[in-house]
């Protein structure tokens, strides 16, 4: 049975590879992700690293003039050599003026270091991986809804259930293979997005002279957790999208209701919480998915505490809700799909 | 079902019924399709042909009744794996080439055989266009790809629903020939068509449906003969006198004039006696033949529908 589903999945992927839709969605994800990364790089690149320059007024030979001294000059003593050209009667005054900037230079150094750290966090591996996935996390559910409703609704539009089923393919196996192929395609999107992040991170490291991989090894785990959370978040949306498509027997109908449901939840969570109960949001799919995606996992502070226990404490309710939606919507889709007659092409 | 009764029956239905709300699409259909025949399913639009095919293929859930496809003791799924079917229009993936479409359907059946794909594409005349996308195919080419699809895996039973629909006359003749060749070697073909002359040329047996019910089923020759009966068409030198003479013969039934000839209900083997009887009265036979009925005439007679070339 599993072998048959895997075989069907392989051939569903064969069809998916030849459609434009998955490639367009992938391109959208890569563009969004790369814009985020290179946008940060552009900000970094325009930040002066050591060009804080002070112009100190100096009265030389009866004419007002100025010397330009950078923080680097102040810190490495070069400023003293610049003072040599200033007449003796003004030198001490100017030296004191230059010295007064030393503290400010330290502050600027700290700000630049913090900015660089943020940049490294964002653009250099492994942090860039986590950030790259975070940049697309809000779009992925919507794009998965579009993909799932489109590829399943297409079968109704074209009437291709008939030739498939009349070859002895069981309906629930076909539905399962569709769901699996959509999940695998979505996983492949995220992997490809991650790969493009890796390539871009290497390019950024080369351009800036930073280390290719920063010292923050914990970010590898963070990236893996975000990847896993995104995959988990997609499953209920795949199930819900398939259910609405089967219900309406149409890709257009399916995508309208599934996206409507997604947006309805996001829009109505606030009034529903006020009208009914503050816990209403605990049972809504969008709220729980957003919670899972937005809450960063914080490893336990005290030694000996289980990472898994902390993980489940944080995510148990959202994961249960997402699991329930996946099972209920998947079962409802299968039940409807199995009991209905297979019709010819419906066209749209 | 008593299995010995159905030993040589590939498709058997028993009181098969399908309701769509208050509409009865198929009403208590009991039909048997013998192994190794090209079996025609005839009936006007809405007579339940496609619904019947759909039920046999597991696409449509019967409201009541039973059916069996292929041998007893095998699952319906296994039977479907040994069946090739195209119902109504050939539905394929427009973005895939003809070859990729076939590869997909071959693949989901758990097989992979490029040589079979090439052979089938050549056989249906799509060898040159095999790598073009399905969306660029004409209606006739789509039908050809549909035929290649049903032949995937060399099935024992074929369901063909209007296989020549949209084809030009040359293509139709070619496909008719192909269908005839498919019916050899023990393979059974269930052919649904509106084209009565096509069915008559290709099929061994037919079942005629009307308003979801089976009107009649049997070998075409037997059915046509059963209504034509022992009818002779005679043209003589004096038809008026001949009618009088023939009406006097006690072994002759009804005698009527029609279009300058006389239709005589009498056993064909007594034609010589009929000729002698007329000759004795100086009435000479210019033409005498056993009356033939076409499937088309038969169809309109049993369904009570109007004249025309299609069902």
Give me the residues paired with residue B189 across strands. Answer: B38, B158
A336 touches chain B (CB under 8 A): no
A81 touches chain B (CB under 8 A): no
Is residue B161 left, alpha or beta, with left meaning phi > 0 and alpha meaning psi from -120 to 50?
Answer: beta
Sign, CA dihedral A104-A106-A112-A115, equals negative
Of A255, A249, A307, nearest to A143 by C-alpha is: A255
Percent of chain A with pLDDT over 90: 34
- What's the confidence (pLDDT) of residue A292? 83
A159 touches chain B (CB under 8 A): yes
**Which residue in chain B is spatially nearest to A151 when comparing CA positions?**
B93
pLDDT band at B303 (very low <50, low <70, confident <90, very high): confident
Q: 10 Å Cβ neighbour count for A246?
A: 23
Read off the pLDDT of each residue in A262-291 and give the average, rounded to a whole number.
84
CB B203 within 8 A of CB B38: yes
Is residue A168 left, alpha or beta, with left meaning phi > 0 and alpha meaning psi from -120 to 50?
Answer: left
CB B98 within 8 A of CB B117: no
Q: Give me chain B's average pLDDT, please.
A: 86
Helices (H), A166-250: 171-208, 218-248
- How far is residue B81 CA from its own chain's centroid? 23
Least confidently predicted of A235-239, B48-52, B221-225: B221-225
> What one-character-per-residue DSSP string does A1-25 give?
-HHHHHHHHHHHHHHHHT-HHHHHH
Least confidently predicted of A24-38, A230-244, B219-233: B219-233
**Which residue in chain A is spatially nearest to B90 when comparing CA positions?**
A163
pLDDT tens string A103-129: 878 887 788 778 777 777 778 888 888
Please judge whether B61 and A339 are an interchain contact, meaning their C-beta atoms are less than 8 angstroms apart: yes
pLDDT band at A101 (very low <50, low <70, confident <90, very high): confident
Please judge whether A18 and B108 are an interchain contact, meaning their C-beta atoms are less than 8 angstroms apart: no
Percent of chain B with pLDDT over 70: 95
Is 60 exceeded by the pLDDT of residue A47? no
Read off the pLDDT of each residue in A159-167 and give the average, rounded to a whole number.
91
Read off the pLDDT of each residue in A153-181 and give the average, rounded to a whole number.
92
**Which residue in chain A is spatially nearest to B56 when comparing CA positions?**
A166
The whole-angstrom distance between A344's CA and the closest CA on chain B is 8
CB hemisphere CA count around A267 (13 angstroms): 6
Q: Give me chain A's average pLDDT, please.
A: 83
Is 90 exceeded by the pLDDT of residue B1? no
Give me the residues paired with residue A56 across strands. Answer: A67
Is 90 exceeded by the pLDDT of residue B196? no
pLDDT, greater one: B1 or A35: A35
Q: Is A86 helix (H, G, I), strand (E, B) or coil?
A: coil
- Residues A160 and B142: their CA atoms lie apart, in Å, by 14
Which residues of chain B approach chain A closer than 8 Å at the C-beta? 54, 57-61, 77-81, 83, 85-96, 100, 103-105, 107-110, 149, 159
- Residues B29 and B21: their CA atoms lie apart, in Å, by 18
- Residues A54 and A164: their CA atoms lie apart, in Å, by 77
pLDDT tens string A301-310: 666 667 677 7
- What's the confidence (pLDDT) of residue A62? 52
Nearest to B59 among A18, A165, A170 (CB): A165
Is 70 exceeded by the pLDDT of residue A51? no
- What's the confidence (pLDDT) of residue A278? 77
- Residues A339 and B63: their CA atoms lie apart, in Å, by 12
pLDDT band at A46 (very low <50, low <70, confident <90, very high): low
- Spell out which residues of chain A touch residue B96, defining contact as CB-CB under 8 Å: 15, 18
Domains of chain B: 3-82+156-225 (3.40.50.300), 230-290 (3.30.70.100)
CB B151 within 8 A of CB B121: no
pLDDT band at A347 (very low <50, low <70, confident <90, very high): low
User: pTM for the whole thing?
Assistant: 0.80
CB A337 within 8 A of CB A241: no
Please judge whether A158 and B91 are an interchain contact, meaning their C-beta atoms are less than 8 angstroms apart: yes
- Spell out which residues of chain B touch residue A15, defining contact as CB-CB under 8 Å: 93, 96, 104
Please judge whether B77 and A170 are an interchain contact, meaning their C-beta atoms are less than 8 angstroms apart: yes
A164 touches chain B (CB under 8 A): yes
Please judge whether B77 and A342 are an interchain contact, meaning their C-beta atoms are less than 8 angstroms apart: no
- What's the confidence (pLDDT) of residue A272? 84
Is 60 exceeded by the pLDDT of residue B311? no
Of B243, B210, B289, B204, nearest to B10 by C-alpha is: B204
pLDDT, greater one: A103 or A171: A171
Q: Is B43 helix (H, G, I), strand (E, B) or coil?
A: coil
A160 touches chain B (CB under 8 A): yes
Chain B interface mutation, best of A14, A22, A24, A163, highest count of B Cβ atoms under 10 Å: A163
Nearest to A160 among B57, B77, B93 (CB): B93
Q: Spell A277-316 as b/e; 16+ CB within 10 A means b.
A: eeebbeebbbbbbbbbbeeebeeeeeeeeeeeeebeebbe
pLDDT band at B309 (very low <50, low <70, confident <90, very high): very low
pLDDT band at A269 (very low <50, low <70, confident <90, very high): confident
Least confidently predicted of A157-161, A270-274, B10-14, B244-248: A270-274
Q: Which run of H or E residues covers position B218?
A: strand B213-219
- Residues B238 and A232: their CA atoms lie apart, in Å, by 95
pLDDT band at B310 (very low <50, low <70, confident <90, very high): very low
- Spell out which residues of chain B touch residue A150, defining contact as CB-CB under 8 Å: none
CB B262 within 8 A of CB B242: yes
Is 90 exceeded by the pLDDT of residue A335? yes
- How far is residue B187 CA from its own chain's centroid? 15
Nearest to B96 among A15, A165, A342 (CB): A15
**Which residue in chain A is spatially nearest to B101 when comparing CA positions?**
A15
pLDDT, greater one: A318 or A95: A318
- What's the confidence (pLDDT) of residue B190? 93
A323 touches chain B (CB under 8 A): no
Is 50 exceeded by the pLDDT of residue B308? no
Of B185, B146, B188, B181, nearest to B164 by C-alpha is: B146
Percent of chain B with pLDDT over 90: 34
User: ∠ at Cα B143 (B139, B148), nearest 5°?
Assistant: 145
pLDDT, greater one: A217 or B161: B161
Is 70 exceeded by the pLDDT of residue B68? yes
- Residues B204 and B201: their CA atoms lie apart, in Å, by 9
């Amino acid at each position: 049975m599993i072998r048959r589903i895997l075989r069907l999945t392989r051939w569903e992927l064969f069809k998916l590879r030849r459609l434009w839709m998955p490639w367009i969605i992938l391109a959208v994800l890569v563009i969004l992700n790369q814009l985020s990364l290179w946008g940060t790089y552009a900000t970094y690149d325009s930040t002066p690293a050591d060009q804080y320059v002070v112009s100190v007024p100096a009265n030389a030979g009866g004419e007002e003039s100025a010397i330009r001294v950078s923080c680097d000059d102040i810190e490495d003593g070069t400023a003293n050599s610049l003072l040599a050209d200033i007449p003796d009667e003004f030198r001490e005054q100017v030296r004191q003026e230059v010295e007064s900037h030393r503290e400010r230079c330290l502050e600027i150094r700290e700000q630049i270091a913090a900015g660089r750290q943020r940049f490294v966090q964002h653009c250099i591996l492994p942090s860039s991986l986590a950030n790259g996935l975070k940049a697309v996390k809000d779009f992925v559910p919507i794009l998965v809804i579009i993909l799932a409703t489109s590829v399943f609704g297409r079968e109704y539009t074209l009437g291709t259930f008939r030739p498939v089923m009349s070859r002895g393919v069981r309906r629930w196996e076909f539905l399962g293979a569709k769901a699996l192929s959509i999940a695998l395609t979505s996983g492949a999107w995220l992997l490809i997005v991650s790969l493009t992040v890796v390539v871009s991170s290497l390019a950024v490291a080369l351009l800036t002279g930073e280390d290719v991989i920063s010292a923050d090894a914990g970010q590898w785990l963070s990236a893996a957790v975000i990847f896993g959370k995104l995959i988990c978040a997609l499953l209920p949306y795949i199930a819900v999208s398939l259910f609405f498509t089967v219900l309406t027997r149409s890709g257009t109908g399916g995508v309208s209701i599934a996206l409507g449901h997604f947006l309805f939840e996001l829009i109505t969570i606030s009034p529903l919480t006020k009208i009914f109960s503050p816990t209403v949001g605990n049972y809504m799919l969008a709220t729980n998915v957003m919670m899972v995606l937005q809450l960063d996992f914080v490893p336990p502070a005290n030694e000996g505490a289980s990472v898994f226990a902390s993980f489940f404490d944080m995510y148990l309710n959202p994961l249960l809700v997402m699991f329930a939606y996946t099972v209920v919507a998947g079962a409802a889709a299968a039940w409807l799909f199995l009991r209905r007659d297979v019709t010819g092409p419906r066209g749209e | 079902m008593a299995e010995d009764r159905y030993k040589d029956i590939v498709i058997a239905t028993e009181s098969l019924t399908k309701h769509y709300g208050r509409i009865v699409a198929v009403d208590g259909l009991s039909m048997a399709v013998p192994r190794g025949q090209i079996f025609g399913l005839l009936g006007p639009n809405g007579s339940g042909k496609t619904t019947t095919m759909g039920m046999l293929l597991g696409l449509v859930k019967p409201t009541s009744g039973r059916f069996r496809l292929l041998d007893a003791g095998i699952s319906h799924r296994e039977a479907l794996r040994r069946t090739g079917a195209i119902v109504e229009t050939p539905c394929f993936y427009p973005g895939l080439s003809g070859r990729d479409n076939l590869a997909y359907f071959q693949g989901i059946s758990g097989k992979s055989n490029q040589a079979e794909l090439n052979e089938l594409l050549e056989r249906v005349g799509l060898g040159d266009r095999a790598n073009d996308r399905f969306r660029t195919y004409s209606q006739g080419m789509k039908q050809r790809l549909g035929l290649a699809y049903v032949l995937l895996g060399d099935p024992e039973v074929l369901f063909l629903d209007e296989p020549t629909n949209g084809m030009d006359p040359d293509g139709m003749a070619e496909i008719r020939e192909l269908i005839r060749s498919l019916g050899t070697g023990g393979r059974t073909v269930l052919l649904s068509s509106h084209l009565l002359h096509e069915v008559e040329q290709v099929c061994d047996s037919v079942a005629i449906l009307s308003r979801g019910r089976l009107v009649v089923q049997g070998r075409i020759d037997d059915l046509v003969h059963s209504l034509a009966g022992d009818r002779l068409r005679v043209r003589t030198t004096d038809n008026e006198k001949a009618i009088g003479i023939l009406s006097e013969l006690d072994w002759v039934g009804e005698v009527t004039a029609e279009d300058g000839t006389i239709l005589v209900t009498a056993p064909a083997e007594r034609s010589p006696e009929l000729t002698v009887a007329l000759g004795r009265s100086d009435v000479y036979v210019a033409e005498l033949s056993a009356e033939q009925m076409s499937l088309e005439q038969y169809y309109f007679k049993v369904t009570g529908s109007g004249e025309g070339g299609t069902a």
